[in-house]
Amino acid sequence: MEKTAFLDDLQRQLASLIEGTPAADLRRNLKALLAQQFAQLELVTREEFDAQVRVLARSREKLQDLERRLAELESRRG
């Protein structure tokens, strides 16, 4: 049996064992609590983060270009 198939099967079996126990209620409550807390943290998705990284990189490039142009203009003037 493949390792991931074994682990998936084991997870299903364990989930079915705890479904009727107080542990299942605890799991659902904990999951809801964590979801609520994460929502309050104002987290961003990986896609949003990566988009902002690209924007920052372009901004840095533009800044470096402007700094080079300024230095060039200053050297011409003085």
CA 35 to chain centre: 14
3-state SS, 30-49, equals HHHHHHHHHHHCCCCCHHHH
pTM, rounded to two decimals: 0.50
pLDDT at residue number 11: 86
The two structure tokens encoding residue 6: 């074994």
pLDDT tens profile 35-67 = 888 888 888 899 999 999 999 999 999 999 999
Q: What pLDDT is attached to residue 68?
A: 97
Residue 43: DSSP 8-state: -
Cβ contact 11:17 at 8 Å: no
